[in-house]
Structure 1
Amino acid sequence: MNNELVKISDADKTLTPGKIFYNWFAANIGIMGFVFGAMIVAYHLSFAQAILAAFCGALSFLVPGWVAMIGQREGVTTFKLSRAAYGTWGNKIPNAIAWINMVGWLSVNVITGTMLLISMYGVLDIPKNTVTRVIALAIFGGLVLLSGLLKEATLAKIQTWLSYVFGALTVVILILFLLKADWQAAFNLPSGHWISGFLPAVSIVAAGSGISWSMAAADWGAYVKPKTKPQATFWGTALGGAVPLFVLMAGGVLLSTIEPALATTGDPFGVMYSALPSWIGVIYFLVAAGGLIPQCIVSLRSARINLGTIGIRVSQRTSLVIHGLIVILIPVYVLFISGNFLANFELFLNFLGICLASWVAIFLCDSAMFRKNGYELALLVPDSKKHYNWGGIISWVIATITGFLFTNNAIWNGPFAHGIFRNNSLGVFISAIVAIICMFIVKMVAYSNNEGVSHHE
Structure 2
Amino acid sequence: MQGNGGNSRTYPFQRLLSFQHTDFLYTSFLWKVILMSQEEKQPQENRAWTIESHGIEPIGDEERHGNPSEVFWIWFAANVGILGVTYGGMLAANGLNLWQSILVAFLAPVVSFAVVGVLSIAGIWSGAPMLTLSRAMFGPRGNIGPALTSWISLVGWETVIVITSSYALLELFKIVGLPVNPVTTIISLIIVAAIVIMLGLWGHATLVQVQKIATWVFGILTLIIVVFLLFQTDWQKVLSTPPGPWDTGLITSFIVIMASTGFGWINSGADYTRYMPRKTSGSAITFWSVFGGTLPLLVLMIVGVLLASKAPNLANGSPVDLIGLLPSWMAVPYLITAIGGMIPAAALDIYSSGLNLLAVGIKIKRYYAVLIDGILMVAGAFYVMLIANDFQGPFISFVSLLAAGLTTWAAIVLVDMISRRRYDTRSLVDTTPKSAYYFTGGFYLPACIAWVVGVVIAFLFTKSSFFTGPFAIGIFESTNLGYMLGAVVSAVLYAMLKLTFPIKASVPEEAVS
Structure 2 length as normaliser, TM-score?
0.76
Q: Kindly report which structure 2 residues correspond to 1:424-439, keeping only aligned pairs within 5 A, or say none.
A: 424-439=479-494
Distance 1:14 1:110, change over 3 A: same
Quote the Cα distance in structure 1 between the aligned partners of 2:284 and 2:344: 27
Quote the Cα distance in structure 2 between the aligned partners of 1:456 and 1:410: 46
Report the secondary structure of 1:172's partner residue: helix
Instruction: Please tell me whether the aligned partners of residues 196 and 421 of structure 1 are also in contact (alpha carbons under 8 angstroms).
Output: no
Task: Using the TM superposition, give the Cα deviation of residue 127 of structure 1 relative to its aligned residue in structure 2, in angstroms.
Answer: 6.7
Q: Kindly report which structure 2 residues correspond to 1:101-140, keeping only aligned pairs within 5 A, or say none.
A: 101-120=153-172, 123-124=175-176, 133=185, 136-140=188-192
Work out whether 1:399 is the aligned partner of 2:454.
Answer: yes
Work out whether 1:11 is the aligned partner of 2:62.
Answer: yes
Work out whether 1:328 is the aligned partner of 2:383.
Answer: no
Unaligned segments of structure 2, at least 5 residues: 1-54, 508-513
Instruction: Please tell me whether the aligned partners of residues 350 and 425 of structure 1 are also in contact (alpha carbons under 8 angstroms).
Output: no
Task: Using the TM superposition, give the Cα deviation of residue 324 of structure 1 relative to its aligned residue in structure 2, in angstroms.
Answer: 2.3
Task: Using the TM superposition, give the Cα deviation of residue 50 of structure 1 relative to its aligned residue in structure 2, in angstroms.
Answer: 2.6
1:311 aligned residue: 361
1:440 aligned residue: 495
Unaligned segments of structure 1, at least 5 residues: none
Higher helix share: 1
2:133 aligned residue: 81
Distance 1:235 1:146, change over 3 A: closer
Task: Using the TM superposition, give the Cα deviation of residue 276 of structure 1 relative to its aligned residue in structure 2, in angstroms.
Answer: 1.8
Mean Cα deviation higher: 295-304 or 270-279: 295-304
Report the secondary structure of 1:215's partner residue: coil
Distance 1:334 1:123, change over 3 A: closer
Deviations 1:10-50 (Å, cap 9, x if unpaired)? 22221112223222222222222223323333433333333
2:235 aligned residue: 183
Question: Structure 1: which amino acid aligns with 2:467?
Answer: W
Which of 393, 406, 413 does residue 468 from structure 2 map onto?
413
Q: CA RMSD in A?
A: 3.4
Report the secondary structure of 1:414's partner residue: coil
1:233 aligned residue: 285
Quote the Cα distance in structure 1 between the aligned partners of 2:349 and 2:136: 25
Task: Using the TM superposition, give the Cα deviation of residue 73 of structure 1 relative to its aligned residue in structure 2, in angstroms.
Answer: 3.5
Task: Using the TM superposition, give the Cα deviation of residue 65 of structure 1 relative to its aligned residue in structure 2, in angstroms.
Answer: 1.0
1:222 aligned residue: 274
Deviations 1:117-171 (Å, cap 9, x if unpaired)? 2444664466767776555445534555677787876676555433311110111
Work out whether 1:92 is the aligned partner of 2:128.
Answer: no
Report the secondary structure of 1:180's partner residue: coil
1:262 aligned residue: 314
Task: Using the TM superposition, give the Cα deviation of residue 200 of structure 1 relative to its aligned residue in structure 2, in angstroms.
Answer: 3.2
Instruction: Please tell me whether the aligned partners of residues 384 and 391 of structure 2 are also in contact (alpha carbons under 8 angstroms).
Output: no
1:280 aligned residue: 330
Distance 1:100 1:189, change over 3 A: farther
Task: Using the TM superposition, give the Cα deviation of residue 70 of structure 1 relative to its aligned residue in structure 2, in angstroms.
Answer: 2.9
Distance 1:121 1:181, change over 3 A: farther
Task: Using the TM superposition, give the Cα deviation of residue 351 of structure 1 relative to its aligned residue in structure 2, in angstroms.
Answer: 0.9
Tell me the percent identity.
34
Report the secondary structure of 1:285's partner residue: helix
Quote the Cα distance in structure 2 between the aligned partners of 1:455 and 1:317: 33
Structure 1 length as normaliser, TM-score?
0.84
Work out whether 1:382 is the aligned partner of 2:427.
Answer: no
1:163 aligned residue: 215
2:79 aligned residue: 28
Deviations 1:366-412 (Å, cap 9, x if unpaired)? 221x42x5345575342323211111111111111111111112221
Deviations 1:235-256 (Å, cap 9, x if unpaired)? 1222222222222222222222
Question: Structure 1: which amino acid aligns with 2:384?
Answer: Y
1:365 aligned residue: 415
Alignment size in residue pairs: 444
Task: Using the TM superposition, give the Cα deviation of residue 182 of structure 1 relative to its aligned residue in structure 2, in angstroms.
Answer: 1.5
